[in-house]
Amino acid sequence: MNDTTASKTESLLAEVDQYSAHNYHPLPVVIERGEGVWVWDVDGNRYMDMLSAYSALNQGHRHPAILAAAHAQLEKLTLTSRAFHNDQMGPFLRELCQATGFECALPMNTGMEAVETAIKMVRKWGYKVKGVPADQAEIIACENNFHGRTTTIVGFSSEEQYRDGFGPFTPGFKLIPYGDAEALAAAINENTVGFLFEPLQGEGGVVVPPDGFITKARELCTQHRVALMADEIQTGLGRTGRLFCCDWEAVRPDVLIIGKALGGGVYPVSATMADAEFMNVFTPGDHGSTFGGNPLAAAIGRAALRVILDEGLSERTDQLGTWFINELRAINSPHVQEVRGKGLMIGVVIKESSGIARPFCEALQARGILAKETHHQVIRFAPPLIITQEELEFALEQTRKVLSV
């Protein structure tokens, strides 16, 4: 790297440091171009993207089918608001319902908007349908959760940093240890309207629940008429080797929350899925979004979903993910405590005696691999699902060198 290109990177990093809120701690790389699983920085260096924008790029960077749909729609219509209909939203919701098996969908933009939508819907269902007394509804969530950053959502986080300085918080939430079915059973009472959970905790450190937990949660929620609310924003749309992570236990939630990869890495698209029993509690004026279901988002969402289904990304992720996890576990490293995950959502846990995960991510960057630490001790690997075996072998080779030092 010469002085000219070095100064370009440094200048851009300094600009962000000066003008941006310091609410992120990214790796010191400035990306200007992407294609498939690869990205290039402003200095021309090539890296393999092993994070996929936290699973928003399951289809890879700039997938041609998704770009074509976006370009075509940009030439016709981008926004109407929900004051009028558009010709893309109906087909998008129909295709989404057909793919997921739910009767209705409410389109939003970001994942946390979809979570907020689910919370509002399930609370209102509790009052209007289940008969819970006014303002007494409770939703159970899990410790170590990550469902977004709104004040309501961080209010039921167990991560102190997410809460610090943002109170007072919304009441009506109760936490249980993740994966503890007995704790869930004990927490349910007559005012419980929902159980909100991630079938695999991503931001929490790629934490996999015990086998059978989702099945038991389904049974308990059915028994007590509680809505099972699955946040599949990161785990959904093929990431874990199934279309949805709940599919590993053949469980159908009452409420399915999806986002990230639904926008194909091009545009924010999310949705809350449920049957009419839940969705029909909304009447005009109850809830909405100016941009939710806009024609550009709907056209992109349709293409993003088709790529996942038509290219069989769930199936190939199951095969490649199983191979990659086994190969990572076979690395004889003095630094690794364990390797955990499903499909291509993988966490390599670094022993505390070896320090934190960030220096390992920086060492991977120096070898052309972009991964990111989470919860201090975990290196998260989540490449685009279009990645090939050969490309994964390159990632494995570089990871082996970093972990073996």
- What one-character DSSP code corresponds to residue 208? P
Tell me if 121 sits within 8 A of 282, measured CB to CB. yes
d(CA 256, CA 281): 16
d(CA 111, CA 28): 26
Tell me if 295 sits within 8 A of 271, measured CB to CB. no
Residue with tokens 């993003």: 304
HEC string of 176-204 equals: ECCCCHHHHHHHCCCCEEEEEECCCECCC
Find residue 104's DSSP bridge partners: 274
HSE (side-chain half, CA atoms, 13 Å) at 393: 3
Instruction: Count Cβ atoms within 10 A of the Cβ of residue 113 and give its class: 0-12 exposed, 13-18 middle, 19 or more buried.
Output: buried
Q: Cα torsion at 197, 198, 202, 207 (round to 10°)?
A: 80
Say how many C-beta atoms besides its own lie within 10 A of residue 276's C-beta: 10
| Of the candidates 354, 365, 374, 358, the residue with the CA atom closest to the CA atom of residue 398 | 365
Active site residue 282: no
Active site residue 260: yes
Alpha carbon 379 to its chain's center: 16
Alpha carbon 167 to its chain's center: 25
Q: Which of 216, 260, 342, 372 is catalytic?
A: 260
Q: Are strands 31-35 and 38-41 parallel, antiparallel or unpaired?
A: antiparallel
d(CA 273, CA 276): 10
Phi, psi of 175 (to 5 degrees): -105, 145
Secondary structure E strands in 16-166: 31-35, 38-41, 46-49, 104-108, 138-142
Q: Which of 102, 146, 291, 324 is catalytic?
A: 146
Tell me if 188 sits within 8 A of 226, measured CB to CB. yes
- What one-character DSSP code corresponds to residue 374? E
Active site residue 231: yes
Strand order in the sheet with 31-35: 31-35, 38-41, 46-49, 369-370
Q: Which of 41, 49, 231, 254 is catalytic?
A: 231
So which residues are the catalytic ones? Answer: 146, 231, 260
